[in-house]
Amino acid sequence: MTIPCDILVFGGTGDLALHKLLPALYHLYREDRLHNAVRIISLARRPLPRNDYVKLAERHCRAQIARQDFDEEVWQRFSARLDYFPMDASQSGDFGRLARYLGEPGGLTRIYYLATAPTLFVPIANHLRIAGLVDSEARIVLEKPIGHSLESATAINEAIGAVFDEPQVFRIDHYLGKETVQNLMALRFANALLEPVWRNSQVDHVQISVCETLGVENRGGYYDRAGATRDMLQNHLLQLLCLVAMEPPAQFEAEAVRDEKVKILRALKPITGQDVQDKTVRGQYHAGKIGGQEVPAYYFEKDVDNDSDTETFVAVQAHIDNWRWAGVPFYLRTGKRMARRTSQIVIQFRPVPHELFNGGQVNQLLIQLQPDEHISLRMMTKSPGKGMRLAPVELDLNLAQAFAQTRRWEAYERLLLDVLEGDSTLFMRRDEVEAAWAWIDPIVQGWEEHFQAPRPYPAGSNGPEQANSLLAHQGRKWHG
């Protein structure tokens, strides 16, 4: 049972609130994880009566929650805790109204979830302070991206830090709430089998891919300003890289874990000058077919400039300058309108020192995050019949099958529960965000200085051909 609190969701009529946050809170309530005194208050500009908002929330929750998990009686009790407060988060006067509506805390912790445009983070924090709505127990949750550069991220962190102390700030990356992502730490630090080979003497290279078949959907206005680098590489992919590469923390505790992740980000070799052209690839999808259906080019998407040079694909060859990973390339790749939807981490091991049998291949560890969560280790074995013909066989851990009797938690359930419990292990610390931007900024600047335009690739493909060349000239290729 968590603490008694008010959970205030700014942007309460948006997709994130309706499709992710409210279903997650429903599940937590259904499993008796919420305190009896918890209130959930959605805030947005639409002038909706409370009953209309509850109906809106129910419609979206029914669509997002599996039928067997949606209980009518539970929903009635849960929705009784749900309220709606119409306000404009950019207007300071509306926060005075909010303060009067909320009244005195009376022992309740106030949690402010900013499911809004990043441009509203600082104004909302300042308005909350002026209205007297921030005390030492309050917490604020910020969605990515935190800024669009090191300078802007530092400015946001400074402004938020002037209102909330660092332990009160939860910078969320939903990828860190995925079961398989957390299994990375269990896989590495709870299995003596893998730890001795998790290093440059045994690992040839690492691939981290997050590929989507979707385009920009209704996010064209935001995405055209951000691009794949700021939207995905700076946060999701670098977070996954940190979990793959980090050293074992002294203990499984928030600051110890985050200390090790920051060390990795600071050990990333800067990509500058000519290296920007040699070790990075930008791409932008053009018209093509996905699932047999024609889809338009990026520059014809809603709210996207027709002459946009925003990248929808980026691939990077990164190197970590430390004892464990010196000389091992990390290939990072993300893109929209790709051939298939997948998020995966591939640890490619080196071949055996002496190849005794013809046709032998190197071992490979595949960690699949989506669409299915599973972990498999490719081993070489003898094919049935005469002779020593080898074939790869996968030792597979299918998490859905292994825990078939246990409902799989969604990422936001776990992360919201951590916020309620005050556990910041899976959230980004200020110096972590800024260290990531410090590595990203020179790449973006290098593209601008060298006029490196995005390479075209047809929707439904695996990205621009140049991304394959990034690995091919070293005798490697992308998995899948």
How does pLDDT run across 105-131, given as a tens digit for each residue? 888 999 999 999 889 999 999 999 999
The pLDDT of residue 359 is: 60
Tokens 């106030």 — which residue?
A: 110
Query: Would you tell me how many other CB atoms lie within 10 Å of the CB of residue 210?
Result: 23
Q: How far apart are the first and last CA of the chain?
A: 43
Q: Which of 77-86, 277-286, 378-387 has the lowest mean pLDDT?
A: 378-387
- Establish whether 178 is an annotated binding residue: yes
Read off the pLDDT of residues 406-417 as tens digits, 9 standing for 90 and up: 677 888 999 999
C-beta of residue 7 within 8 angstroms of C-beta of residue 138: no
Q: Is 378 annotated as a binding residue?
A: no
Lowest mean pLDDT among 54-63, 177-186, 191-200, 341-350: 177-186
- pLDDT mean across residues, the chain: 91
How far, in Å, CA of 363 to CA of 154, rounded?
A: 42
- Chain-centroid distance, C-alpha 190: 24
Distant-in-sequence, close-in-space partners of 372: CB < 8 Å, separation ≥ 6: 398, 400
pTM of the model: 0.92
Q: How far apart are CA 47 and CA 326, in angstroms?
A: 57
Residue (of 78, 82, 35, 20) closest to 54 by Cα position: 82
What's the pLDDT at 399? 67
The pLDDT value given to residue 451: 84
**d(Cα 338, Cα 449) in Å, to the nearest integer?**
28
Confidence of residue 394 (pLDDT cuts 50, 70, 90): confident
Q: Where are the alpha helices (DSSP H) in 190-340?
A: 220-228, 238-245, 254-267, 274-279
pLDDT tens across 420-457, in order?
Answer: 999 999 999 999 999 999 999 999 999 999 888 999 99
Closest CA to 150 of 36, 234, 270: 234
% pLDDT > 70, the chain: 97
Question: Cβ distance 202 to 349 under 8 Å?
Answer: yes
What is the predicted pLDDT for the residue at 50?
96
212 assigned to a ligand binding site: yes
Residue 382, annotated ligand binder?
no
- Using the predicted structure, report yes or no on whether residue 210 has a pLDDT greater than 80: yes
Choose the catalytic residue: 27, 60, 205, 236.
236
Examine the pLDDT at 164 and tell me if it is beyond 90: yes
Model pLDDT, residue 175? 84
* Annotation says 473 is catalytic: no
Q: What is the mean pLDDT of residues 193-208?
A: 93
Give the position of tokens 């997050």: 210
Q: What is the dihedral of CA 144, 480, 186, 391, to 10 degrees?
A: 180
Task: Please tell me the predicted confidence (pLDDT) of residue 184.
Answer: 85
Cα 370 from chain centroid? 12
Q: What is the per-residue pLDDT for 386?
A: 72
